[in-house]
Structure 1
Amino acid sequence: MRKIDPRLVLAIAAAGLVMALWLVLMSVIVWSTLDAQERLAVGDVLAPRTVLVAMGWMLGLFLVAVTLHMLHRRYVGDPHRLIEKIRVVVTATTPQQLTPRGTAEMQAMARAVNELAAQRDQLRGDVAEQVAQASLRVQQEKNRLAALMAELNQSVVVCNREGRILLYNQRARQQFRQLSQGAGAAAGAELIGIGRSIYAVLDQQLVAHALERIHQALGRGVATPSAQFVTTTQGGHLLRVQVAPVRESAPPGDGETQEGLQAVSGLVLMLDDVTASVQEEAERDQLMHGLTEGSRSSLANIQAAVDMLGYADLEPAMRERFLGVVRDEVGAMGRRVNDLAHRATQRLKTRWPMEDMLGADLVTAAQRRIAQHCDRPVTLDTIDTSLWLKVDSYTLLLALTYLAHRLVDEFEVRFLQLRLQGTATHAQLDLVWSGQAMSNETVMSWEMDAMRFGSERSPLTVRDVVERHGGEMWFERERARHQAFFRFMLPLASVQGVVDAPLGESEFSRPEYYDFDLFKMADQGSALDDRPLSELTYTVFDTETTGLNPADGDAIIQIGAARIVNGKLLRQECFDQLVDPGRRIPAASIPIHGITDDMVVGKPGIAQVLPLFHAYAQDTVLVAHNAAFDMRFLQLQEEASGVAFHQPVLDTLLLSAVVHPQQESHRLEAIAERFNVTVLGRHTALGDALVTAEIWLRLIPLLQEQGIHTLRQAREAAQKSYYARIKY
């Protein structure tokens, strides 16, 4: 709906009034020149035609209004719209051109603006090239840091003094995701993110105490102080946290303040999930204690029995009784030792973690290892290089080498071959050979024997390795090719974790996320309403629903969101969650959002998802397009979910009308077209949220041009917009 310009209404009303006064004046002048008889004649002529005269008068007014409207649109409206588009070009960070329209003068102006914009873009390109060359060394240092962080097996998080996260590596992201799942989080929830508070996971008092110990160490002159503590997360995990300071570089000649308090600008946190190791150590201690105490008692009984058996005059019945004591105690000690060995074997099964690994890398490692240990050529055949596996590479390579070694020792196999192919749910890894046939009984014995070859010893069996991977292994003959093979069915790695990584990269290629500019934000203490728009953290979100009437029972079926921190859109920290609405999705709405009933079956309900989204959006300003619609759906679920969204809300629909009041449309697609924003995934919650985020980043400088710099000013300007009257 387009708002009518009040200036146009006033112009038409003024023109009508002037025309009416002019007609009245002319009528009075003409009437005054007539004598009495002529006036009677004119009255007789016009009396039956009063309606026609009135209609003519109204038609004249209408023609004047249309003419004024066309003139206003051509000489007032079009220039204003051109000015709004020029402002978009001026504030655009990417090359953008105007489409010449309107009068010849306006078209000439548009072409002149395009020429100036082209010159500016060329200058920008030259400056950007120089900046890129100047910052190449800095970028190389960042790449070295990224490579180092990517290879670390430890979770690393860097925070500023307020606990806001500035950097984290992929290992930390995976670990925090596991912690959130342990707390009952649904898919898409993240406990970690740039600009988010580490205190969502760690107790602030523990971190403050560690920082105090670091300050004390700095005061004593310790060069590299650190502190550590162990804490429990909401999901019941034990975290060991080592804390080290990030030191500020003081200007030359300036010393540190008292106790070095100002020398610390942030903290480096290295986190280890020690839940399993602590539990394992406790079980080991308990087992060793039981073995020691039980063995001490058994040895005492055996010693007493042996002492009694030393008497030559001992009666046969008593001798047999003491011999029974020795046998029973020795048997009990044997059972305890066997139980200890069994438990040690079970722990050994899970000692090496299951990790995502490229299948081709695993096969190449197996080829080298088998050739080295068995002194036989090993070839590769039909290797699917796109497969990612979820494997314990150490034990799996041990099993393959063990089987190859027995083939060479017992059947004198001359050459071996490895194959790797994928199925819909698993990967098939084959160890192939040509030679003497073997029986199924032999295969079963190999499968159940402890693996031993050369200097390698392990209490594990091939069957243990197969069970560890939740797969299968069997022996099969290919009579046509005179070959046989052992086939391992192995689990595939998560598609989400490997194939669909953000920005088309594997999660393991550049798994670090950082924004060191947030070090500068440690001392921001002003009220949120008075903070500049460019300094705020935003959660830009969108919802997909079963319909458009929340009061009539329509419900949310998807929530998508992205965060903007320090003026940057963090695409790798998105929230994307389907929701079971508890009702059928109308067939008429499915072609719009593409979400069917089958897609939401088994997904968490809104009462589970909203607390997660509330935590994701904590301490941020909410941004949405036509936010009144989305917020109404959230507000109706506050009682069911137990959370309420009290943070400020900004609407790109209203603010677009503020900066571009002359534009005919403020739909999301129309605004995206004006700002040259590519629309991908329209009418998906996450797709629309990302487009809205890009639009919001382009609206901020336009608002600043109009004197709207703070959150308070933006909210007040939005409420004055015509579209703010729409209610849901």
Structure 2
Amino acid sequence: MPAIALALVAIACVVLWSDFVPAERDAANDLLTSPRVGLLVFFAVALAGVLAFVTYRITAPMVRSARQVAEEVQLTAHGNPEHRLSLSCAPPLRGVVKAVNDLAGIRSQLMAEHAAAATEAKAQVDEERKRLAALVAELDQSVLVCNRDGRVLLYNAATKALLGGAENGAASDLIGLGRSVFGIIDRAVIMHAVEAMEQQTARSTRESTHFVTTTRDGRLLRVHAAPVAGAADAAGGMPELSGYVLLLSDVTEDVDADAKRVALFQGLVETTRAALANIRAAIENLTEHPEMDAARRARFGTIIRDEAVGLSERLHRVTAEVTERLRARWPLEEMRGEDLLTLARRRIERRAGLPTKLEAVDSELWLRVDSFSLAQGLSYVARRLKDEFQVREVRFRLAASGGHAQLDIVWQGPPLSSETAFAWQSEPFTSAGEESALTLTEVIERHAGEMWYQRDVPAQVAYFRFLLPLAGEHAVLRSRSALPSRPEFYDFDLFRHLPATDALDHRLLTDLAFTVFDTETTGLRPSGGDEIIAIGAVRIVNERLLQGETFESLIDPGRGLPESAVAVHGITPEALRGAPTIDKVLPRFHRFAAESVLVGHNAAFDMRFLQLKEAQTGVRFEQPVLDTLLLSAVVHPEQDLHGLEDIAARLGVAVIGRHTALGDALLTAEAFLRMIPLLAEQGIRTLGEARAASKKTYYARLEY
């Protein structure tokens, strides 16, 4: 600005000099002696400075206001379409701001119309996807769908239960969209199956491949792999393998049972062969030597008798063992106890015409039963009570007791004798009009349970009590409340190949998987003894926030918790009592965040805590880190406030669950997703470009 003012003064002097006549120029030369020229130059420079200062004071607010308006226009265009420019700008720009707001309103309306049209056009496809997702989610069969590189595209609740139950937390942390299946199943086995499927695809066949592999905890899995072919090329050639579907079954118990059955058979053969050989030898001696004295004949007779008795006992033991194993292997299903009673009540009311009621039933109790035979047995009891003792109503009770489920069928009426109760247990169901020839005793044996008759004299009721097996933890984990009602999946267009060897810095932000995390701590001094008390995280894959794939854990800090910290996050010392320590939680979080880019708000603070725990936990986070604090300064350099709530307000993100680790992680993830298109508008599209831009901001100098 001063240079421009000086140039204007110089031009004015040249124009004035050129207008002088020779006499005036001579007079001017006489006046412009050396001291006067210096004074004139000084005044000219001073005048230029004054002009520059006045011009700056007039134009600077206008320029700053124009920059802020430009930022807000970018925010409206690429970050938050509902954002409207503030009218608190320079007066000359207010007309432009109003016009931009009008255009933004028209744009929002057009976007809404286009979104409605797109939604309608995609409705049929989405409906098919929902049907597929619902079907896969409700299957008891474990299903994994992967692309050619082994990245998980879809999994269902049964898979989560099979590979990620409470007793298998490590595998649970490795199951998720975009994760590698090789963290769960051996890579060599999978690649062998992939090669076989590729050969089948090349031969225009669609045969499946089977193999058996082991999990990290030693269980055996039978895997049925089926190919998913991609689109044919433009030349009409054979389509390439774009992915595969894996159907998983735990066959550990089956293999163990088969091995025991073979060992039982081999043992029976060996012992029977030896016994028969001894008996045969004794008989041959008796037949070949009829003159044998009585004492020796008696000894051979004893051998035959002892071997025959031993053989009979062995056969009896084997028969009992086989019967027990067959009973244990009878197919039992896992079902809610309340559902079992619903089936039994309908059968009793329909077949016996006897009213039924529920007296005290635990609705959350899961059983492992053969529901058909058990419903038949309950109907059989109810019918005999009505026919033989004129009982007018039966009631049911169900509760857990001592590791079993305790099911009672209760009635008021005359008592049963012990002989009658025993006879009912041993007589076939056909005696009461049921189709099956089973007995109550056989049904109870199938369940490895017990049954007895009992009277409650004070209450003037009698009941049969059945002890039935409870479903294990595996079944409880498979409850649909443990996972979303349908699996979270993303478009199968992602079967396309993404080179796994590409350097992350050269990968587009839109192609990367992110783990967005946050911590809650005892204070703000990681190097001063403060500790982490909570970690929360959520994953982003394919620009989608996967709210079904989260990590959340409280942590026992091993030290006191200041009241000032409790006032911020609301976590009390009582809430931390019994929580795992950092050396248990951090390895799990490390597995959860594997093969992803970490994202946090003011991530330097959180990362400092993690770095200080490397020696204690043996865990080191070496993946790249992005910070929404720095990225906000990149996309909105003219804004003064870059707190998480300030960013959320600018980007139109609702603030929910603030100052909880998982709540802040979800908020940060939403804000980060809104920033990606704003970064792209500035030419920042790859991870490397985002990291480089972040390092140039003022906030990158913060240290903890």
**TM-score w.r.t. structure 1 length?**
0.77
SS in 2 for 1:392: strand
Q: Confirm or deny: 8 A CA contact 1:417 1:431 kept in the other structure.
A: yes
Partner residue in 2 for 1:61: none
Q: Confirm or deny: 8 A CA contact 1:448 1:463 kept in the other structure.
A: no
Call closer, same or farther: CA 1:318–1:484 in 2, change over 3 Å: same
Aligned residue pair count? 643
Partner residue in 1 for 2:175: 192
Question: How large is the Cα RMSD of the aligned pairs?
Answer: 4.1
Amino acid of the residue matched to residue 721 of structure 1? T
Partner residue in 2 for 1:577: 553
1:123 and 2:92 matched: no
Q: Confirm or deny: 8 A CA contact 1:358 1:388 kept in the other structure.
A: yes
Q: Which moved more, 1:488-497 or 1:616-625?
A: 488-497
1:727 and 2:703 matched: yes
Call closer, same or farther: CA 1:683–1:229 in 2, change over 3 Å: same
Deviations 1:106-126 (A, max 9, x none): 666555444333322221222
Partner residue in 2 for 1:654: 630
Partner residue in 2 for 1:137: 124
Equivalent of 1:150 in 134, 137, 160: 137
User: Separation in 1 of the partners of 2:164 and 2:292?
Assistant: 74
Call closer, same or farther: CA 1:240–1:75 in 2, change over 3 Å: same
SS in 2 for 1:569: strand
Call closer, same or farther: CA 1:495–1:233 in 2, change over 3 Å: closer
- Counterparts of residues 81-480 of structure 1 (less than 5 Å): 81-92=68-79, 95-98=82-85, 100-102=87-89, 110-178=97-165, 181-182=167-168, 185=170, 189-219=172-202, 221-251=203-233, 253-256=235-238, 263-304=240-281, 315=294, 318-319=297-298, 322-323=301-302, 325-326=304-305, 329-342=308-321, 344-345=323-324, 348-349=327-328, 351-352=330-331, 355=334, 357-370=335-348, 375-381=352-358, 387-394=363-370, 398-399=373-374, 401-406=376-381, 408-409=383-384, 412=389, 414-419=391-396, 430-438=408-416, 454-456=436-438, 462=444, 465=447, 475=454, 477=456
Q: Confirm or deny: 8 A CA contact 1:449 1:461 kept in the other structure.
A: no
SS in 2 for 1:119: helix
Equivalent of 1:683 in 650, 654, 659: 659
Call closer, same or farther: CA 1:315–1:488 in 2, change over 3 Å: closer
SS in 2 for 1:174: helix
Call closer, same or farther: CA 1:231–1:83 in 2, change over 3 Å: same
1:278 deviation in Å?
A: 1.1
Amino acid of the residue matched to residue 151 of structure 2? R
SS in 2 for 1:513: coil
Amino acid of the residue matched to residue 174 of structure 1? A
User: Separation in 1 of the partners of 2:586 and 2:383?
Assistant: 60
SS in 2 for 1:581: coil
1:398 deviation in Å?
A: 3.7
Call closer, same or farther: CA 1:556–1:72 in 2, change over 3 Å: farther
- Counterparts of residues 535-554 of structure 1 (less than 5 Å): 535-554=511-530
Gaps of 5+ in 2: 6-52, 431-435
Q: Confirm or deny: 8 A CA contact 1:389 1:490 kept in the other structure.
A: no
- Counterparts of residues 596-615 of structure 1 (less than 5 Å): 596-615=572-591
Amino acid of the residue matched to residue 380 of structure 2? H
Gaps of 5+ in 1: 1-9, 15-64, 257-261
Q: Confirm or deny: 8 A CA contact 1:287 1:340 kept in the other structure.
A: no
Deviations 1:455-482 (A, max 9, x none): 23687564884869xxx99856386675
1:98 deviation in Å?
A: 4.9
Call closer, same or farther: CA 1:466–1:125 in 2, change over 3 Å: farther
Call closer, same or farther: CA 1:515–1:556 in 2, change over 3 Å: farther
User: Separation in 2 of the partners of 1:288 and 1:458?
Assistant: 30
1:623 deviation in Å?
A: 0.4
Partner residue in 2 for 1:706: 682
1:693 deviation in Å?
A: 0.5
1:229 deviation in Å?
A: 2.2
User: Separation in 2 of the partners of 1:639 and 1:467?
Assistant: 52
Call closer, same or farther: CA 1:347–1:725 in 2, change over 3 Å: farther
Q: Confirm or deny: 8 A CA contact 2:602 2:628 kept in the other structure.
A: yes
User: Separation in 1 of the partners of 2:76 and 2:399?
Assistant: 51
Deviations 1:320-341 (A, max 9, x none): 8735752564355335533552
Equivalent of 1:559 in 526, 535, 554: 535
Call closer, same or farther: CA 1:438–1:70 in 2, change over 3 Å: farther
Amino acid of the residue matched to residue 581 of structure 1? P
Amino acid of the residue matched to residue 524 of structure 2? L
Amino acid of the residue matched to residue 268 of structure 1? V
Q: Which moved more, 1:445-454 or 1:198-207?
A: 445-454
1:240 deviation in Å?
A: 2.0
Call closer, same or farther: CA 1:520–1:392 in 2, change over 3 Å: same
Q: Confirm or deny: 8 A CA contact 2:598 2:623 kept in the other structure.
A: yes
Call closer, same or farther: CA 1:589–1:94 in 2, change over 3 Å: same
SS in 1 for 2:413: coil
SS in 2 for 1:622: strand
Amino acid of the residue matched to residue 640 of structure 2? E
Deviations 1:411-463 (A, max 9, x none): 545455454678999987542333322468987x6999799774236875648
User: Separation in 2 of the partners of 1:202 and 1:446?
Assistant: 54
User: Separation in 2 of the partners of 1:558 and 1:168?
Assistant: 28
Call closer, same or farther: CA 1:381–1:243 in 2, change over 3 Å: closer
Amino acid of the residue matched to residue 651 of structure 1? D
User: Separation in 1 of the partners of 2:308 and 2:606?
Assistant: 74
Call closer, same or farther: CA 1:573–1:333 in 2, change over 3 Å: farther
User: Separation in 2 of the partners of 1:473 and 1:544?
Assistant: 55
Call closer, same or farther: CA 1:370–1:674 in 2, change over 3 Å: same
Q: Confirm or deny: 8 A CA contact 2:79 2:651 kept in the other structure.
A: yes
User: Separation in 2 of the partners of 1:549 and 1:171?
Assistant: 44
Q: Confirm or deny: 8 A CA contact 1:654 1:724 kept in the other structure.
A: yes
SS in 1 for 2:590: helix
SS in 2 for 1:216: helix
SS in 2 for 1:522: coil
User: Separation in 1 of the partners of 2:79 and 2:565?
Assistant: 35
User: Separation in 2 of the partners of 1:525 and 1:175?
Assistant: 31
Amino acid of the residue matched to residue 610 of structure 1? L
Q: Confirm or deny: 8 A CA contact 1:429 1:490 kept in the other structure.
A: no
SS in 1 for 2:518: strand
User: Separation in 1 of the partners of 2:96 and 2:330?
Assistant: 73
**TM-score w.r.t. structure 2 length?**
0.79
Amino acid of the residue matched to residue 658 of structure 2? R
